[in-house]
Amino acid sequence: MDRQALRQYAVVTGTYWSFTLTDGALRMLVVLHFHHLGFGALDIALLFLFYELFGVVTNLFGGWLGARIGLNRTMGLGLALQILALCMLAVPAAALTVPWVMAAQALSGVAKDLNKMSAKSSIKMLIPADAQGQLYRWVAALTGSKNALKGVGFFLGGALLGLLGFTHAVLAMAGALVLAGIVSMALLRKDLGKSRFKPKFTDLFSKSRAINVLSAARMALFGARDVWFVVALPVYLVTTLNWSNTAVGSFLALWVIGYGGVQSLAPWITRNRHGRAPDGRTAMAWALLLAASPAGIALALSHGWPASSLLVLGLALFGLLFAVNSAVHSFLIVSYASEDGVSLDVGFYYMANALGRLLGTLLSGAVFQAYGLVACLWVSAGLVLLAGAVSWRLPRHDKHLQT
């Protein structure tokens, strides 16, 4: 990567980091603030429903928009929408009704996925096409650091709530994003990611078999995580194991930070003795390995093992294996994406990612309420196996890692 490309990567990464910190902090602020207002865990989870739902639409249309107007503009638009969402929450407490907060979360969901799509797509434009190993490392670094910072954002949200209060906290974050937006708009290339052709509306849907297959695997993979992680696990820890809200929030924050750290190390974890970049075989193998984790936890819980220690250790193992799976997928989509109009392919893929998260969130509440945590774990194992089976149809290659 030459100096100019490295500078662009630094700007993209810094902007993405700024957004990610506020995104994680905002989630924790909303959870804690509305808990103090007397909302139950399931009610709070529903506040984020539009956040996930609008992510599906945003990724689909955002990729098309990025190819037409450039990734610097879609990233700037994402920052602007997040600033607006934060300002919407800086109203008197009496005005913070459920519909109002859900609308703000919808804007935040649009903003998050515009930024993610823009950041991931831009890397394709900065790395030489024959440097697949370097591409894998840079994608893993961006993805891993983002998730680690989201966990830091959970702590930041709690700290800001205690120091500044809800209203001043969201205004402070909005001000920080204004500065990040000014810097990124001044330094990012104006034509970054802009397609040489004007994509039509019909180009929203990928025509690449590899990307369609990978998107299906991604949807199943993230549904498998969220079916027990989003609602079922936090509610189970509070209601069944009597964990405090602080303990639950801290545990999940540490899990996300560790998950991000493992993602950053994925190129070294998956590096094989032939020095080959990941391919479809890699995705399938790691998915099958991951499926054993929720299945093992479900079996152990059914046989009366101590739930608290089992879930801590089991979730740590699940996080490690899931992080590697996610990092391999993140590399493959950037690798498979067409260089001209890269955001179209990346946007379609992350649309499937958002759809999987939405599916997992809905299943997490429904399955847990009807059948309990063990059933959620079995559904998770089944979805991971589905992701592995789909990954069997991904391309395999013999390209060696390039330095």
Condensed to tens digits (0 to 9), the pLDDT of residues 157-167 reads 878 888 888 88
In the prediction, which pLDDT does 387 show?
95
In the prediction, which pLDDT does 399 show?
43
Residue 403 confidence (pLDDT) above 50 = no
- Ranges assigned E (strand) in 15-112: none
Q: List the single range of 63-77, 305-319, 377-391 with lowest mean pLDDT.
A: 63-77
Q: List the single range of 3-12, 159-168, 303-312 with lowest mean pLDDT.
A: 3-12
Q: Residue 13: name the closest of 124, 122, 109, 153 by CA.
A: 122
Over residues 85-100, the mean pLDDT reads 84
Q: pLDDT tens digits for 319-375?
A: 899 999 998 998 888 888 766 556 677 778 888 888 898 888 888 878 888 888 999
Sole residue written with tokens 């950037």: 334
**In this structure, are residues 168 and 13 in contact, taking their beta carbons and an 8 Å threshold?**
no
**In this structure, are residues 327 and 260 in contact, taking their beta carbons and an 8 Å threshold?**
no
Over residues 152-178, the mean pLDDT reads 85
- The residue count of the chain comes to 403
What does 6-28 look like in DSSP terms, one character per residue?
HHHHHHHHHHHHHHHHHHHHHHH
- Structural domains of the chain in order of their starting residue, each with its CATH number: 3-191+203-391 (1.20.1250.20)
Residue 402 confidence (pLDDT) above 60 = no
In the prediction, which pLDDT does 45 show?
65
Residue 184 confidence (pLDDT) above 70 = yes
